[in-house]
Amino acid sequence: MLKRRKVWLTILISYLFLLLLPVTVGGYIYQRMERVLAEQANKANTGLLEQARRNTDSRLTELNRILLQLSLEPNFKWLMDNAGNNHGEDQLHYVELMKELSGILNVNDYIDSLHLYFPKAGSVLTSGLKTDATLYYERIQRFEGIAESMPERLSRFHAKALYPVTTVNQIDSTKRVIPYVQTYPLDETGRPAAGLVMLINEQKMNSMLEPVEWAGEGAVYVLNEKQEVLTGTAGVRTLPEDLRKRLAVREGSFSYEDEGSTYLVTSLSGENRLKYVSVVPEAIVMKKVDAVKYGSLSLFGLYLLCGLALSLLLTYRSYKPVREVVRSILNRRSEYGESAGNEYEFIQNAVIRSMNEEQTLRETLLKQMPAAKAHLLTRLLLGHTRPSDRDAETLKMIGGSLDSRSFRVVLIEIENCQNFVKNDSEQEWALVRFVLTNLLEDSVSPGSFVVELGRNRLAVLLDGTTSSHDEEWGTWLEKLKPLVEQKFRIQFTAAVSSSHEGAEGIAKCYTEALTALEYRLTQGSNSTIYYSHHKNQKRFSYYYPMENEVQIINYIKTSDYARAEQALDHVYEVNFIRNEISPELGRSLFQDMAGTFLKVVHLLDSPNDNLETHFSTLAQAIAKCTTAEEMLALIKSGMKLLCDTVKEERSDSGQAVYRRIVEYIGQHYGDSNLSLNLLAEEFGFTPPYLSTFFKKQSGINLSEYMTRCRIEAAKSLLTESDMTIGDISRQVGYANHIGFGRVFKKWEGITPGQYRETRGR
């Protein structure tokens, strides 16, 4: 019985997903909207600060023009050069300059007061009086809260310098002003000739900054280039150190936390290297944004609650039919629910299990069809059964029929398939048969059959009524052969039977195809052989007279391989080229030639067991050959071995040759390509002859001697050098240290590393 209600949970999750999808989209839109609103609020704050900066900078620009205007005033220039010299005309210049200062004050209400200081004369000039500097700074206009006196400050070079707000005590009042200091001449940085001090009314400057205060909730500060607070709407003289550091390296807007509160800080640069800073509590700036935020979150929460309730209701309505179906099935087949993961899987299992029995039967039948087809066709080909109505029905069921009036059989013998068969495994051969089967089925007429008869043999059962002439009928086969060879590198021999009437003639067709395939011995591999071309052949002997046999024996005894080969080629030409003998006679001919070589072995002066063994097995090798060319090649190689052996026995330089071979091995044992074939090629012998000759001279096999030389050289290197084992293995002719280690251990009983350790290296 199902206890887990996974479908109910899945449906609920689906509805919740549909519920959360618009919530997610809305949340994303809300975040974008909140960001935009915050940016707009920040831009509004920045805009207000920018307006205040422009207003303040415009007034400071006026002051800068006054500085320049005053530097060009003739009376001022004369007094800078002559003040304190007690000229009689000094007073006149002072009076004119006082009028100029008075005019400046009359047109600019931004300046509370201004005065000129002449260090040489030690005097101060205002718009209304000229007096001694000491009297002026101690009695008339006294600056509080500054570390140095004004004369000391004016004795240094100043260029449009603004100092933090300070309190000035005058005779009848006290004011807070911002000193604006400029020394003259303007372009000289040495000791000034005069100094101008303009006192900016703090209230006038703050009035321009008040629109940025956010109704008194925030504060605006003006900082000079030393990050000192010139003035501020909050009355604060200094800013926190960490805030000053951040303002020194960046400009724009950023958040700042202080004592648990978050502030929005905005800074702009202005004239005279001033910086305008707005510090507003973030809650004030984001007040309207937060109102929208909380309203939106409330709506989202209400939407989620309503959506959750609706999701539960819809889940119940959607799950109810599934629950009823599950209950109905469980009432009849309760075991279906034992392995079910959820209700839908339970229903699926119930449906699948009800259909599995039929499907299993169908699949079993389909799996057996290829085997049944192959079994039936094989029995028909071999003649083990007679066609019946039941066989015809079976063939129709597996996709064929025996309705043709006549049949032919083509045997396909696979000769060469190196591209597919690398390891000679059954899987590779199965792939070759699969490729050929598909190609044959695509090439032959409908209703034909292709069946596997062995590892490298296929049989094709064809409709034999299409043509009575072999060449016309076999056109498709001649087109298929080059295609298979070019694209798949597969070569095969095709043996074609004659056409026989009725299904009863299938066995005769197969027998004829087998007979035709035997003629591969004379026609060669990778050919198409028609039984009709050979069925009337009546020759029952081959050409190999005694005279030719004696002639070949004499040539071998004199080690004249060229003439012996010529005589052998003559016999082959008479039997296989001028005339055509049957495959059976061809095999008998080559067996007779192998017997000739055994006669020569027995005629040698000294007995040779290796030669007797070689030529005794030659007959078995000939029996395995499929073509006359392969047999001829085996016969010629044996004849070459005999000629070399006779030549060696008749030569007095055998020992000299042996010494040359030993010397060559001693010089070239480090060559990894050194082998029996390489030595045979170097000294002009066949590999079998060289192997026999060396063992006869030395008593050991050639390969064993080469291994001994390499091992002895390796032992010397292991004890006398610091070379690595890998380098030593390559030095003595091994491709890698793994093979070298295996051979070394076989000869010495220990590994190369152990051998080196026992020798103290």
Q: How far apart are CA 663 and CA 353, in angstroms?
A: 81
Distances (CA, A) of 536 to 250, 437, 495, 507: 111, 32, 16, 20
Instruction: Let me know how long the chain is.
Output: 761
Cβ-based neighbours of 230, under 8 Å, separated by 6 or more: 162, 163, 164, 165, 178, 221, 222, 223, 224, 274
Query: What pLDDT sits at residue 543?
Result: 74
Residue pair 75/27 in contact by the 8 Å Cβ criterion: no
- Residues 407-427: tens digit of each pLDDT: 888 888 887 777 667 777 777
Report, as an integer, the average pLDDT of 138-164. Answer: 81
Query: What pLDDT sits at residue 278?
Result: 81
Query: What pLDDT sits at residue 87?
Result: 62
Query: What pLDDT sits at residue 1?
Result: 45
Query: What pLDDT sits at residue 259?
Result: 74
The residue among 469, 49, 8, 450 whose CA lies nearest residue 219 is 49
Q: How far apart are CA 347 and CA 362, in angstroms?
A: 23
**Is the four-CA dihedral 302, 303, 308, 314 of positive or negative sign?**
positive
Residue pair 80/185 in contact by the 8 Å Cβ criterion: yes
Higher pLDDT, 196 or 554: 196
* Pair type for strands 219-223 and 229-232: antiparallel
Task: State in words which class domain 404-533 has.
Answer: alpha beta
What integer best gives the mean pLDDT of the chain?
Answer: 78
Containing H/E element for 528? strand 528-530
Report, as an integer, the average pLDDT of 73-96. Answer: 77
Higher pLDDT, 151 or 287: 151
Q: How far apart are CA 732 and CA 711, in angstroms?
A: 8
pLDDT exceeds cutoff 70 at 214: no
- Residues 264-320: tens digit of each pLDDT: 888 888 776 788 888 878 777 666 667 777 777 788 788 888 888 887 888 778 777
148-154-159-160 Cα dihedral, nearest 10 degrees: 70
For residue 614, count other CB atoms closer than 10 A to its CB: 19
Q: How far apart are CA 241 and CA 172, in angstroms?
A: 38
The overall pTM is greater than 0.85:
no
The residue among 583, 694, 679 whose CA lies nearest residue 645 is 694
Residue pair 647/685 in contact by the 8 Å Cβ criterion: no
Higher pLDDT, 720 or 378: 720
- Residues 596-629: tens digit of each pLDDT: 877 877 776 555 666 767 777 777 787 778 787 8
Provide CATH code, domain 654-758: 1.10.10.60
Report, as an integer, the average pLDDT of 164-181. Answer: 84
Domain-wise residue ranges, the chain? 73-206, 404-533, 546-650, 654-758
Q: Which CATH superfamily is domain 73-206 in?
A: PAS domain (3.30.450.20)
Cα of 189 vs its chain's centroid, Å: 68
pLDDT exceeds cutoff 50 at 730: yes
Q: Is 215 helix (H, G, I), strand (E, B) or coil?
A: coil
Q: How far apart are CA 184 and CA 189, in angstroms?
A: 9
Residue pair 382/513 in contact by the 8 Å Cβ criterion: no
